[in-house]
A and B are shown apart, each in its own frame.
Chain A
Amino acid sequence: MPLLWTVKHRPKTLSDVAGNKEAKESFIAWINSWQKGIPPKKAALLHGPPGTGKTVTVQAAANDFKFDLVEINASDKRTEEHLRKIAGGAATQGELFGRNRLILLDEIDGINLSEDKGAISTLVETIEHARCPIALTANDPWDPKIRPLRELCFAIEFRRLGVRDSLPYLKKLCVSEGIEADEQALRLIIDRNKGDMRSIINDLQTFTTGRKKLNYADVEWLSWRDRKDTIFDALRTVFSSKSGTQARRATDMADVDLDMFFEWIYENAPLQLTDPRDLANALGALSKADLYLARMKRLQAWQLLPFAIDQMTIGVALSKERTKPAWTPMRFPSRITSLSRTRKERALRSAIGAKIGAKSHVSSMAAVKHFLPYLSFVFQNNSEMASDITGWLDLNEEMVQYLSGKSIKEKERKARKPVKVKERQLATRKAARRRRAASS
């Protein structure tokens, strides 16, 4: 597998790190302050959204200032003992072979308090006794669990990268990879990733895998992905709002029509509300919304719309009382895919219904209900009777196949029972043979 560009093109020196000039400068200043003895803040907290260059800045600085970098990140175990051994040891021993050290505690807000027992207090202790710079990174500096750390740290904020910073970087990257990229395409990638450099580079690599050219048309679907993101956000609002007004706002966020939004909520409610009582309340609200929508369309009474929206957003949001919070991905409405999948079959069935209805004085709907199951039974058991009926009703080949259970779905259904019977017959026959063999 080719190397990830986010790894391959990771900046080696601070001047290569894109954007966040001020943040980089204050980090450099803080590192430099260590040359004049131990500064009042022995740790720096680099905070900001993902992909803004926090970790990369620390790594590049270590390289530039020739520090030995001791790195501990989220994927490592962070129990108290473990931290004490690595961070504590490294931090208090000062230098090794005359080289300065820099300790990086990455994604500090990812610490799991119940698993990493005492981690925070160990870190506080480590920072207090530190004899070398310690850098911490976090997405959310206001996370309550890292509050004791925040007070000990020199805080440096990293912001989302603008086009001005990321575009030149991407262009340089394209040159070094030998890719001819349309500037408009690069701009769209940057725009859709909201200043997250890591995902920008990942997207660029994905789009250019196996090719040397990148046009706007190649990345156009990103705008669709953005739509999908907005519907996911809207759904999350519906399923996690605690207040009615907040939940109701979801309909404005979703970039799809109301019927479609309803389908999304209806599809995902059972996945999001795992407590049966919550789900019952949510579906109760949805069924009311459905009724409002039906009345609205039937009577052209558009003034009913707000009441439908209330039920499908607020009604669903406030149903979440007992469900334990968990992250569950959203799913595309399966009802829509299943309807389009079975469209042909349904059309065929009502065509047969119409044929029966023409001869039997019933509507095609009633024919499907009152005759089809019996006809199907006849067609599967008696070809002579079936061919009489075929002639009388003037059925075509496809209809006959459907009635005989030869369409794919019917085949599966039919296969269930007869096979079992056959197996049983086979088993008894085998048993009889064995008995005969034993007696002779």
Chain B
Amino acid sequence: MERAMWAEKYRPRSLSEMRNQTEIVGRLKKFVETKTMTHCLFAGPPGTGKTTAALCLARDLFGERYMDAFMELNASDARGIDVVRTTVKEFARIATISDVPFKILVLDEADNMTSDAQQALRRTMERYTESCRFILCCNYSGRVIEPIQSRCALFRFTPLKSQDVADYLNHIAKQEKVDLKADGVAALVEVAEGDLRKATNTLQAASSLGKPISEGSVYMVVGRAKPKDVRDMLDLAFKGEFLKARQMLRSLLVQYGLSGSDIVKQMHSEIFRIDAPEKDKIALADAIGEVDFRLIEGGDEEVQLSALLARLAAIAQETR
């Protein structure tokens, strides 16, 4: 069946199709040539090609039947020690019969694994190092425990350059026979911020309107896909309407399914725009950072964030 989602349909199938992260791709190609590789840690923001690179590497190494020697685990769906101990072991201990002497196991979103699971993984990595190579993908390499980092070659993926995003979008538009206007491309590049998946998804959503894609249609998608509720929530807190702000926070978390750290990120980018003394803003930015830290520590998203909203309301009261 035709891949109906463009982000999947136009995902490169081979390292030679990847047009960015050239330095990384070059190193990975060396792995293919020599049929050797180390454990890898792919770190970088979403939509910069980590999973794609892993998939391309596997396909280039193992050919079309790469699925026999390749396994993908999503740490955040199947996290925990049990998964590492059973699934990973099962896969790793059976040797391959191809001319490549190892299998590849991709652990996506590895920074979402608990540190206990990571510890267990570390032992597994050592034990099956003969027959299996690990590629760990994460947004922040710092969230992966040191012993694992030291066992991996680190590959830092960076946000895509505007020109690369634009070229890629124009390529898709041409294939899909979509009329993509110049201002549409510019808007897509701007909202994507180097995240190719986001750019592609936005393009597809905009094209669903059935009209030439202009700046207007792009922002229509963005406006609907990412409600400006975080802004509204901050405004409410700032007006002293704490209960309403908390209700909004709850609906962002529960109804829209935003994660706490998503909201933290958006709050951080909004906080410097609000009308408050500069000194308070840096204090708030610090408080936001503290919330982010606490969320990693396992704090409750709503409780931690609403404490921040209350702090904002108090600052507003004092400024008035």
Contact = CB atoms under 8 A, between A and B. Distances in A.
Answer yes or no: are A and B bound together in one complex: yes
Contact of A378 (B208, B240, B255, B311): B208
Interface in B168-227: 197-198, 201-202, 204-205, 207-210, 221, 224-226
Interface residues of A, number: 59
B72 A270 contact: no
A322 to B, nearest CB: 10
A363 B294 contact: no
A374 B300 contact: no
Nearest to A359: B8
A124 interface: no
A295 B298 CA distance: 7
B221 A369 contact: no
B5 A362 contact: no
Interface in A348-407: 349, 354, 356-357, 359-366, 368-378, 381-382, 385-386, 388-389, 391-393
Contacts of B221: 374, 377
A393 B197 CA distance: 17
Contacts of A375: 5, 205
A231 interface: no
Given A270-B243, A372-B257, A276 B77 contact: no
B51 A277 contact: no
A276 B5 contact: no
Given A369-B259, A370-B198, A374-B205, A276 B210 contact: no
Contact of A377 (B224, B242, B299): B224
Contacts of B51: 361-362
A378 B205 contact: yes
A356 B74 CA distance: 13
A409 interface: yes
A269 to B, nearest CB: 9
A284 interface: yes
B316 A276 contact: yes
A342 interface: yes
A363 B208 contact: no
B2 interface: yes
A338 interface: yes
Contacts of A357: 74, 77
B109 interface: yes
User: Chain B interface secondary structure, helix, strand, loop or mixed?
Assistant: helix
A80 to B, nearest CB: 40
A29 interface: no
Interface in B302-319: 302-304, 306-307, 310-311, 313-314, 316-318
A366 B109 contact: yes
B264 interface: no
Contact of B225 (A271, A281, A377): A377
A370 B46 contact: yes
A266 interface: yes
A389 B9 CA distance: 12
Interface string B68-88: 000010111100000000000
- List 10 tightest A-B contacts by C-beta distance, closest first: A373-B225, A382-B208, A280-B314, A294-B298, A363-B74, A287-B307, A392-B4, A374-B201, A388-B4, A283-B307
29 contacts: A276-B240, A287-B303, A290-B299, A291-B294, A291-B304, A295-B297, A335-B302, A346-B257, A359-B8, A361-B55, A361-B72, A362-B51, A362-B108, A363-B76, A363-B108, A365-B259, A366-B46, A366-B74, A368-B257, A370-B46, A371-B7, A373-B226, A374-B205, A374-B221, A375-B205, A377-B221, A378-B208, A386-B208, A393-B5
Interface of A: 266, 270-271, 275-277, 279-284, 286-287, 290-291, 294-295, 297-298, 335, 338-339, 342, 345-346, 349, 354, 356-357, 359-366, 368-378, 381-382, 385-386, 388-389, 391-393, 409
Interface of B: 1-5, 7-8, 46-47, 51, 55, 72, 74-77, 108-109, 112, 197-198, 201-202, 204-205, 207-210, 221, 224-226, 240, 242-243, 246, 250, 254-255, 257-259, 262, 294, 297-300, 302-304, 306-307, 310-311, 313-314, 316-318
